[in-house]
Amino acid sequence: MKFSKLLLIALSISLFASCSSDDNDGPKGAYDNGFFILNEGSSDAGTVSFSSNDFTIFTKDAYKAENGADVLGKFVQNIFFEGDKAYIIAGGSNVISIVNRYTFKLIAKVDSGLANPRYGVVKDGKAYVTNANSYDSVTDDYIAVINLATNLVESKINLNTTGNRIIEESGKLYITDPMGSDKLSIYNINTKTLEDPITIGSGSDSIEEENGTLYILRPSYTQSSEIIKVKISDKSVSKIEIPESQGVAGYLDIENNQIYYTVGNSVYSINTAATTASISPMFTASSDIGYLYGFAVKDNRVYLSDGGNFKTDSKAYIYNLSGSLLKELTVGVGPNGFYFND
Amino acid sequence: MTLKRFFAFCLFLMCQIILGQNDSITSLKEVLISDKNLKKYSASQSVLKLNDSIINKNEALLTDLLNFNSTLYFKEYGRGMLSTVSFRGTTSSQTAVIWNGININSQMNGSTDFNTISGSDYNSISVKAGGGSVIYGSGAVGGTVHLNNDLLFFNRFENNLRLDYGSFNTIGINYKTSISNKKWSTQIGFSKNSSTNDYKYLNRYTWRGEQRWNQNGQYDIITLSANAGYKFNENHILKLYTQTSNTDRNTSLITESETKSKYINGFNRNLLEYDGNFGKLKTNFKTAYIFENYQYFADNSTKYYTYGKTENLITKLDVDYNLFKSTHINGIVDYSRTNGYGSSFGSHIREISSASLLLRQDIGTNWKNELGVRKEFTSNYKSPVLFNLGSSYKFNDWYNLKLNVSRNFRIPTYNDLYWDEGGNPNLKPESSYQGEIGNVFTFKNFTWTQNFYYMKITDMLQWVPGANGIWTPQNQDKVNSYGTETLLSWKKSYGKNIFAANTTYAYTVSQDEKTKNQIFFVPFHKATGSVSYSRNKMSAYYQILYNGFVYTRADNNPDEIINDYTISNIGIDYDFKFLDSFKLGFQVLNLFNKDYESLENRPMPGRNFNMYLTLKF
């Protein structure tokens, strides 16, 4: 792509961003109106990079920039938000660092009651965080219930299977299981009980909800990968098979009634109502991406990250929906996810 | 401190102590060493020997001894934790550790953890720079570290006991007894080194503002050794070396909330050796059984652990034939069978046979030549022909020139070949070509060794993420290393005053051939210095170590480095002359309370103290 065209796109995006922002108070901090890239780290602690939506501001290690010598911990896995706060999970260090999402200043840490925490959601003042616990056991995983007023783990919900990605919808938690079983776990927050799990097939990973339906990606190395649809009202399951010839699926995200998913370095898109997979990709990302490790779609942009070699700084790539590269960012080690802050 | 300043400092110290001269007298006794080839085939390379008087001046674990007294660079995961070496810019599995002539690098990961070895279990420790695969096999690429137990045949009954007590509840108990006559020689030793290791991290506080300290860093290392030799007569000698050790160590945390883990590893080594002298023909037959195991508890509050074990049987026959007056030829055949099993690599047997031919020739007393060729036979990997070619020429009293060219290798380990998932059974060994020039200048009490080397390593094993997210090792990178090593040693006595000074310095460039980047965790500069003074019953010493900065990333990102540091120790002891010797000593380690680390987020302790008592009776 020509440089002039790139500039034009950047300009139009920044105009769009500033016009659409109806926030009259202006930015709430240096990290408003942008997105975070989580870098899980490897032998050393993980980091968080920040870029403004117009790419004019970029901070490679936002936590260090604001908090000095303190570290987030090993294997930074997930961020979830509540109010003005961002909760950053470092799985390898059993800790959640709570920062102001706009200034990134440390507020507190949740540093007990967690065992290899993975992903979290918030409902009614409580955070629900999946914990892989011992990796030697697939039945000891639990959800830590954290009271956000005290930042303490107040109870644990035993899953009796592996728990990984988690979403909350209408008072229920839905948890995918990448290795322990072929079930989707369901927890009812009001009755505090685990409901009957739904059989969806083994190896389930990304999970999203849209209009009463759960969309779950089930990558497979031995057969066709699948997108599983679970209708929440009657728990009915339908499947969309991704042709095995395309490769192994990676990640899934939903935006404006479109399902976006990756297979290899290609990004595919189908309508949420579709019953078959796309036969051709929207676009194929840079072959420089050796190991696609993070994926998100937001405001007509596709965010992709390269896990890299997990020894040196790697890269994040931002494309528009037609597959033009808008920006390439050098981030930290092992970038694994994008989180939007506006 | 800059390097210039460091040298100025050393020079200053030396000028202070250059006094009169008086050659020290060394008494000669017949010493039988197991690793004969270390003496016979090292004329063209540089060997630094650390004897027990140096071993005793350092902390118990081998990392500390070698860090302060040699050009070897160490990376430690905190005090007493996993410690890996880099010699001449190579990786931790490219330095071979040799126990009484037998290569003891782990069959599982290819390297040796220098914090699991106590220096006092050996009579001497030698550091040989440069390639040695022809004699010592896999891993002798950057150099070799030799742990030697010597057997002496004369009438004696001698006991050595050393007790240490230091900061962080560091306790050392080392006992050695030597009983020998003209036919028998036995040596039995016990060592135990432990510490709660709960030192404070200088200038580091938690988010709550509490002082941070080294949590879960406790260690306990116990080693038992027994060595015996029997002389049937002057020409037939049988020797047995055994050693058993257990290291029980927790692993220190990066952040306080981490799951506490534990690593237990141990070994059992047995070596039976026969020396026969049949005039022109000398034979040495060795058979060894080496057992090695580990258990890793990812969460030490649970009973779950992963493990690995290997049993290695080695038999080796070495025949030395005196072709004519000054020329010897050695034929060596050896067979090694390893049976390894573990939770991560299943069960596999590996058999390796090898044949080598060594030739050495002394032309006059001043010119020595060496030649060696070795070829391994195994179904596990394709093995290159290894060779070693060297010459040493003494031009005059004060100048000795040494040249050496060699080809060396490092074979894939059990982890590389069989790790589930990701192990790659189709790996080649890493191999290297190396050339070096050594210059040794000797003036009265002063020795100056200056080595220059160049090394080309190909097929470096790298674990890389594969297409489906599974890491797998590949033979991919090429590395070129070159550099220089300076070793200075000086000793003088004036009346009852004995002075000694030693310094080492290494300049190391180790580059990835493609990117031209310096290999990470290889410092460009490393220097050590020590001075000691003794008079009558009193001795005092000072040690200094400078470690240049290292990159922590392959891309040489300037933001990702470990800063250089200079640390020093000081010690004094006094012999009360009770029994044969009754020494009480006191040491201050990290004298200037330097806040340093050799790995990111792994702080080392500030100023700390040690007291010791050594008894000879």
Per-residue confidence (pLDDT) for residue A1, from 0 to 100: 37
- Chain A nearest CA to B384, separation (Å): 29
Six token digits for residue A273:
């109502």
CB B498 within 8 A of CB B521: no
Tell me the pairing of strands B95-99 and B143-148.
Answer: parallel
Backbone angles phi, psi at B482, to 5 degrees: -150, 160
Q: Can you tell me the distance from the alpha carbon of B88 to that of B179, in angstroms, rounded to the nearest whole number? A: 40
- What is the full per-residue pLDDT of chain A (342 aa) written as tens digits? 343 343 334 444 444 444 444 445 677 889 999 999 999 998 788 999 999 999 999 999 999 999 988 999 999 999 999 999 999 999 999 999 999 999 999 999 999 999 999 999 999 999 999 999 887 788 899 999 999 999 999 999 999 998 899 999 999 999 999 887 899 999 999 999 999 999 999 999 999 999 999 999 999 988 999 999 999 999 999 999 999 999 999 999 999 999 999 999 999 999 999 999 999 999 999 888 888 999 999 999 999 999 988 888 999 999 999 999 999 999 999 999 999 998
Residue of B nearest to A44 (CA): B600
- Chain B nearest CA to A12, separation (Å): 34
Q: Residue B578, exposed/middle/buried by CB under 10 A (0-12, 13-18, 19+)?
A: exposed
ipTM for the predicted complex comes to: 0.81
Q: Which of B492, B458, B456, B460 lies closest to B473 in space, CA to CA?
A: B460
Residue B22, pLDDT above cutoff 90: no
Task: Tell me whether B258 touches chain A (CB under 8 Å).
Answer: yes
Interface of B with A in 204-233 (CB under 8 A): 204, 206-207
Cβ of B254 and A311 within 8 Å? Answer: no
The residues, ordered by sequence, that sit 6+ positions from B180 with a Cβ below 8 Å of its Cβ are: B151, B152, B153, B154, B155, B156, B186
Label residue B378 by pLDDT band (50, 70, 90): confident
* Element holding B517 (H helix, E strand): none
A vs B: CB pairs below 8 A: 73
Cβ of B257 and A95 within 8 Å? Answer: yes
Distances (CA, A) of B277 to B152, B260, B282, B358: 18, 56, 5, 18
Nearest Cβ partner for B557 among A112, A291, A312: A312
pLDDT tens track for A265-304:
999 999 999 999 999 999 999 888 888 999 999 999 999 9
- The percentage of residues in chain B with a pLDDT greater than 90, rounded to a whole number, is 77
Count the residues in chain B. 617
Per-residue confidence (pLDDT) for residue B34, from 0 to 100: 72
Chain B positions touching A114 (Cβ under 8 A) are 257
pLDDT tens track for B350-360:
999 999 999 99
Task: Tell me whether B343 touches chain A (CB under 8 Å).
Answer: no
Per-residue confidence (pLDDT) for residue A2, from 0 to 100: 41
Cβ of A134 and B302 within 8 Å? Answer: yes
Six token digits for residue B278:
């049949």
Nearest Cβ partner for B207 among A74, A106, A135: A106
Residue B27, pLDDT above cutoff 80: no
Per-residue confidence (pLDDT) for residue B42, from 0 to 100: 87
pLDDT tens track for B38-76:
888 888 999 999 988 888 888 889 999 999 999 999 999
CB A170 within 8 A of CB A232: yes
Q: Can you tell me the distance from the alpha carbon of B172 to that of B59, in angstroms, rounded to the nearest whole number? A: 9
- Chain B nearest CA to A121, separation (Å): 21
Label residue B19 by pLDDT band (50, 70, 90): very low
Per-residue confidence (pLDDT) for residue B162, from 0 to 100: 94
**Which of A311, A331, A336 to mutate to test binding with chain B, by most B CBs within 10 Å of its CB?**
A311
Judged by DSSP in three states, B200 sits in strand
Give the CB-side neighbour count of residue A37, counting CA atoms within 13 A.
Answer: 34
Six token digits for residue A132:
């892989």
Give the CB-side neighbour count of residue B74, counting CA atoms within 13 A.
Answer: 26
List the beta strands (DSSP E) in B466-564.
471-494, 497-512, 525-535, 538-547, 550-551, 561-562
Q: Which of A211, A237, A210 lies closest to A226 in space, CA to CA?
A: A237
Per-residue confidence (pLDDT) for residue B468, from 0 to 100: 66
Per-residue confidence (pLDDT) for residue A53, from 0 to 100: 95
**Which of A39, A40, A42, A44 to mutate to test binding with chain B, by most B CBs within 10 Å of its CB?**
A44
Chain B positions touching A59 (Cβ under 8 A) are none
Q: Can you tell me the distance from the alpha carbon of B273 to that of B28, in angstroms, rounded to the nearest whole number? A: 24
Peptide bond into B421 cis (omega under 30): yes
R_g over Cα of chain B: 24
Nearest Cβ partner for A221 among B464, B468, B520: B468
List the beta strands (DSSP E) in B234-326.
236-251, 261-278, 281-297, 306-324
CA B117 to centroid of chain Cα atoms: 9
Cβ of A109 and B302 within 8 Å? Answer: no
**Which of A89, A291, A315, A333 to mutate to test binding with chain B, by most B CBs within 10 Å of its CB?**
A291
- Chain A nearest CA to B354, separation (Å): 37
Per-residue confidence (pLDDT) for residue B470, from 0 to 100: 80
Residue B17, pLDDT above cutoff 80: no
Nearest Cβ partner for A311 among B259, B306, B553: B553
DSSP letter at B61 equals: B
R_g over Cα of chain A: 20
- Chain B nearest CA to A97, separation (Å): 10
Q: Can you tell me the distance from the alpha carbon of B435 to that of B483, in angstroms, rounded to the nearest whole number? A: 11
Count the residues in chain A. 342
Judged by DSSP in three states, B94 sits in helix
pLDDT tens track for B444-486:
899 999 999 999 999 998 888 776 668 889 898 899 999 999 9
Q: Can you tell me the distance from the alpha carbon of B570 to that of A73, in angstroms, rounded to the nearest whole number? A: 36
Six token digits for residue A159:
């899953």
Residue of B nearest to A247 (CA): B468
**pTM to 2 decimals?**
0.88
Cβ of B298 and A69 within 8 Å? Answer: no
Per-residue confidence (pLDDT) for residue B30, from 0 to 100: 58
Cβ of A134 and B555 within 8 Å? Answer: no
Nearest Cβ partner for B553 among A69, A109, A312: A312
Per-residue confidence (pLDDT) for residue B574, from 0 to 100: 94
Cβ of B207 and A108 within 8 Å? Answer: yes
Q: pLDDT: is B14 or B417 the higher one? A: B417
Per-residue confidence (pLDDT) for residue A287, from 0 to 100: 81
Task: Tell me the average pLDDT across B391-401.
Answer: 94
Cβ of A74 and B254 within 8 Å? Answer: yes
Cβ of A44 and B601 within 8 Å? Answer: yes
Q: Can you tell me the distance from the alpha carbon of A40 to that of B469, in angstroms, rounded to the nearest whole number? A: 15
pLDDT tens track for B89-109:
999 999 999 999 999 999 999
pLDDT tens track for B285-301:
999 999 999 999 988 88
Per-residue confidence (pLDDT) for residue A93, from 0 to 100: 93
What does the H/E/C string look like for chain A? Answer: CCHHHHHHHHHHHHHHHHHHCCCCCCCCCCCCCEEEEEECCCCCCCEEEEEECCCCCEECCHHHHHHCCCCCCCCEEEEEEECCEEEEEEHHHCEEEEEECCCCCEEEEECCCCCCEEEEEEECCEEEEEECCCCCCCCCCEEEEEECCCCEEEEEEECCCCCCCEEEECCEEEECCCCCCCEEEEEECCCCEEEEEEECCCCCCCEEEECCEEEEEECCCCCCEEEEEEECCCCEEEEEEECHHHCCEEEEEEECCEEEEEECCEEEEEECCCCCCCCCCCEECCCCCCCEEEEEEECCEEEEEECCCCCCCCEEEEEECCCCEEEEEECCCCEEEEEEEC
